[in-house]
Amino acid sequence: MTKYWNEMIQHRLQSFAEAGLKRELRPVRQVCQPVLVYQGKQLLNFSSNNYLGLAGHPEIIAAEKEAAERGAGGVASRLIIGHDEAIEELEYELARFQDKEAALVFANGYMANVGILSAFLGRHDAVFSDRLNHASIVDGIRLSGAVHYRYHHGDLNHLELQLKKAEQKGIKRRLIVTDSVFSMDGDVAPLKEIIFLKEKYGAALMIDEAHAGGVFGEEGQGMAHQLGIHGQVDLHMGTFSKAFGVYGAYIAGKKEWIQYLVHTCRSLIYTTALPPTVVGGIRKALKLVQNGNELRQMLAEKSQYVRRELREAGLDIGSSSTQIIPIVLGDERTTLAFSEKLLACGILSVAIRPPTVPKGSARIRLSIMANHEWDDLRKAVHVIKEIAKELEVI
Ligand SMILES: Cc1ncc(COP(=O)(O)O)c(C=O)c1O
């Protein structure tokens, strides 16, 4: 009898719609480009994580085609026979890239975080996690059963208080985990200060550089390199799905810690390896990222322009200092109306609502690409200001 399921599903869908929380999957074309096509209409794309524009790069696409000669699929778990030589070479390259002893590649960032956190943490351990960390971190912690201390966003006093509490409880293994650049706010974790606390309380530190990899650091290694504190980070997680323009993720750290994951990490052991095409694409993307200073410079300048314009217009863009720029509106319906008006004006920037962000902080999330045209950015800024006036947000 599916009647009870149907009732529940219909009821929940109706409540989502009534609360302004309806979600839709939009079929688009030219998804890798700064201008994409939706329902036959050209739209300026401010909704992708393709920050350096590499997802459409001909050299990456050519590398994927070449790698396809080795086969279409990953064929088995890496622990069985899916460990293509190219994956091993990529892991050496990544370890070097991050100045770490070893690295391990995962299917994607979600699986990396869920698997890594649940492998390292158990119910006798304590984990300290920024309240705005990505859902995959939260899910990994939940799965681990560890004592979960969620500290207020970027709040070092709160973090320290919780570290003290865990110490008083006698919990010996403590892990601090934080995004370096926050995915929905575009602000940066106070990593130097977190390192100070990590040392003071004898904790380990894992950072998620999903949105900083490729964008920050002299060779695009991420925010830890940019700040010169990468040597003190125990576990460095990064994704290839954002600035690298491909797919997949990795963790870099001490050799033994990586070996431990090979023995214990269920999202590595019980899943098929990445296919050769993706691995080939990632290896080419890594080279382009390492030589990508010009792209990083362009992205930084364009992001700074948009942040300055929106802030000066009186919009609330929080503490964004990166290519991710939220326009925090609070109310879900206003946010939805804002995004629909943007769409009508040829701009795709979707409404981000709870539970993706905390209640009362619904927002438009703009993400800038290095290859956005200046004229398009100027047009977008103008349109955003006009809509904000129309909706009486400014
Ligand atoms: C901070 C952060 N970590 C991890 C992920 C997951 O990465 P992936 O898209 O590769 O699964 C995301 C993606 O949205 C993210 O924003």
Pair 82, 75: CB distance under 8 Å: yes
**pLDDT of 294:** 98
Atom of ligand 1 nearest to the CA of 240: 10
Q: Report strand pairing: 102-106 vs 249-253.
A: antiparallel
**Which one from 225, 242, 372, 385 is the annotated catalytic residue?**
242
In the prediction, which pLDDT does 19 show? 87
Distance 167 CA to ligand 1 centre (A): 31
The pLDDT assigned to 326 comes to 98
C-beta of residue 246 within 8 angstroms of C-beta of residue 285: yes
**297 vs 302: CA distance, rounded Å:** 9
DSSP class of 273: P
| Closest of 191, 187, 188 to residue 176, by C-alpha | 191
Q: What is the DSSP letter of 188?
A: B
pLDDT for res 367? 98
**CA neighbor of 220 nearest in space, from 322, 291, 301:** 291
Answer yes or no: 382 catalytic: no
What is the residue-level pLDDT of the chain in tens, covering all 394 positions? Answer: 799 999 999 999 999 999 888 888 989 999 999 999 999 999 999 999 999 999 999 999 999 999 999 999 999 999 999 899 999 999 999 999 999 999 999 999 999 999 999 999 999 999 999 999 999 999 999 999 999 999 999 999 999 999 999 999 999 999 999 999 999 999 999 999 999 999 999 999 999 999 999 999 999 999 999 999 999 999 999 999 999 999 999 999 999 999 999 999 999 999 999 999 999 999 999 999 999 999 999 999 999 999 999 999 999 999 999 999 999 999 999 999 999 999 999 999 989 999 999 999 999 999 999 999 999 999 999 999 999 999 999 9
Domains and CATH numbers, the chain: 20-55+293-391 (3.90.1150.10), 74-274 (3.40.640.10)
Distance CA(22)–CA(254), nearest Å, equals 44
Exactly one of 57, 211, 230, 385 is catalytic; which is it? 211
Give CA–CA dist 208/225, Å, rounded. Answer: 13
Query: Encoding tokens for residue 264?
Result: 């214990």
Residue 48 has, within 13 A of its CA and on its CB side, a CA count of 29
C-alpha 186/C-alpha 212 separation (Å) is 10
Among residues 161, 255, 239, 170, which one has the least CA distance to residue 200?
161
Kindly give, in sequence order, each residue whose CB lies less than 8 Å from that of residue 76, ignoring residues fewer than 6 positions away.
82, 272, 273
Residue 47 designated active-site? no
Tokens 């070479």 locate to 89
Distance 146 CA to ligand 1 centre (A): 22
Helical ranges in the chain per DSSP H: 3-18, 58-67, 85-97, 109-120, 135-144, 156-168, 191-200, 223-226, 255-264, 266-269, 276-290, 293-312, 332-344, 374-390
What is the pLDDT at residue 53?
Answer: 98
> Is the separation of the CB atoms in 118 and 143 below 8 Å?
yes
Query: Which residues does ligand 1 sit against, CB inside 6 Å?
Result: 108-110, 113, 134, 136, 179, 183, 208, 210-211, 239, 241, 249
232 burial level (CB within 10 Å; 0-12, 13-18, 19+): middle
Query: In this structure, what DSSP letter does residue 231 have?
Result: G
Residue 207, both tokens? 């950072």
Report whether the peptide linkage leading into residue 190 is cis, meaning its omega lies within 30 degrees of zero: no
Indicate the SS3 state at residue 146. coil
**pLDDT confidence of residue 295:** 98
Q: What is the pLDDT of residue 20?
A: 81
The answer to whether 230 is a known catalytic residue is no
Ligand 1 centroid to Cα of residue 243, in Å, is 12
pLDDT of residue 82: 86
Q: By alpha-carbon position, which residue is closest to atom 9 of ligand 1?
A: 109
- In angstroms, the CA 128 to CA 138 distance is 11
